[in-house]
Amino acid sequence: MRNEGIVELYAPRRTLIGRDGITKIPHFLQRLSSKCVLVVTDKGLIKVGTAGKVTAVLDNANIQYVVYDGVEPNPTTRIVYDALHFYQEHQCDAIIAIGGGSPIDVAKAVSILSANGGKIQDYNGYNKSKKRGTPIIAVNTTAGTGSECTRAYVVTDEETKTKMLMVDTNCLAHLALNDPMLMVGMPPSLTAATGIDALTHAIEAYICNTHTPYTDALSLEAVRLVSGSLRDAVRDGSNMDARTNMCWAEYMAGLAFSNAGLGLVHGIAHQLGGFYNIPHGLANAILLPRVLEYNRPYCMGRLATVAQAMGEKCDNLSVDQASKKAIEAVRRLCDDVKIPKLCDTKFRMEDIDVLAEHALEDTATQTNIVRPTLDDVKTILAKTYYEGIVLKTVQK
């Protein structure tokens, strides 16, 4: 099934992809006539010097800025208000987000709140803000989240421990920037998890019930690029060809899911993030093969095409056989880049009921190719958990 209605397409206002792209940031800030920029990032990116590469560009161009580095994975309402307070205190008029999904999500929240006022809960849902947000330059440092090119952001409500998904055209970045030089120092485990997150975006957008010809093209090329380059990027982080391919893959996959939708992998992964603070990319990577097995009967033809995009030889196979090849290829890729198992995380089987209930309500689940039941989600979680335990027992 595809989206047959009138389709509105979304993209950042401008995009830069390529080596040393960050050197172009002053040009964009000057065009905005910015007086003071809020840089939103996290302490890890300060420590490894990634944020410093961007602020050095600002220093060289005599651009005034202040740095908020309090962002943590799965950002909460408290972090959003801390960053907003910093923005207001220093009378900023533009935002540079440096990071993966979390700093960019916080930047989007500050962008909307600084322009519209109110509480972040007021914007939970679709297009709840009235005014265009404060301009964001979204500098991506991981090749996975796609957050720099989407109109979505996620904030965890600390009181309810649930993730709020805001989908808002007013938070689209003024400039989305993917510079592979910023990704050179990313550790292999993060490269792997965020890379599989990009693959998940591409596959979920391709098999969801609201895909379009536009998102199909983006998805399949992203699948091809991840399959061909992620292993190399994990093995040798300084491989610029692999890093650049992953920049393209993650951006195209981001555009695909931003304009189509996601599915049950993200619907469950959002709960694992909210409950246990499991990093988003890792949660998706752990769940992807098992959810694809669940979805396969409803999208065999599409998964057969995914198998071909992943380089599988399917010429003499039935659609049924080829669709299984796609899942085998995903499992192989996850194993090759050393994705851990669910039993290696803080997940606890006793939480399975509440996790499944929340997953069913998650916005991402609404566009899954088939509507799952509570038992379906519980079975997926249980199988994912126990298959890891069995594997470890066998390996001992």
Cβ 60 to Fe ion, closest distance in Å?
34
H/E segment holding residue 164: strand 162-167
HEC readout, 92-110:
CCEEEEEECHHHHHHHHHH
Cβ 264 to Fe ion, closest distance in Å?
13
The C-alpha angle with vertex 142 and arms to 140 and 143, in degrees rounded to 5, equals 100
Cβ 153 to Fe ion, closest distance in Å?
12
Count how many Cα atoms sit within 13 Å of the Cα of residue 134 in the half-sphere of its side chain.
Answer: 30
Give the nearest residue (CB) to Fe ion: 197
Cβ 80 to Fe ion, closest distance in Å?
19
Cβ 257 to Fe ion, closest distance in Å?
7
State both tokens at 305: 């095409």
Nearer to Fe ion, 42 or 197 (CB): 197
Cβ 287 to Fe ion, closest distance in Å?
11
Collapse the DSSP code of 154 into the 3-class scheme (helix H, G, I; strand E, B; otherwise coil) and give the result. strand
Nearer to Fe ion, 63 or 269 (CB): 269
Nearer to Fe ion, 75 or 135 (CB): 75
Nearer to Fe ion, 174 or 280 (CB): 280
Amino acid at 355: L
Beta strands at 175-178 and 125-126: parallel, antiparallel or unpaired: unpaired
Q: Which residues bind Fe ion (CB under 5 A)?
A: 197
Report the largest interatomic distance among the alpha carbons of the chain, rounded to a whole angstrom: 65
Strand partners, 162: 157
Cβ 266 to Fe ion, closest distance in Å?
6
Of 154, 345, 144, 112, the closest CA to residue 251 belongs to: 144
Collapse the DSSP code of 76 into the 3-class scheme (helix H, G, I; strand E, B; otherwise coil) and give the result. strand
d(CA 245, CA 241): 6
Collapse the DSSP code of 314 into the 3-class scheme (helix H, G, I; strand E, B; otherwise coil) and give the result. coil
With contact defined as beta carbons under 8 Å apart, do 369 and 299 qualify? yes
d(CA 91, CA 85): 10
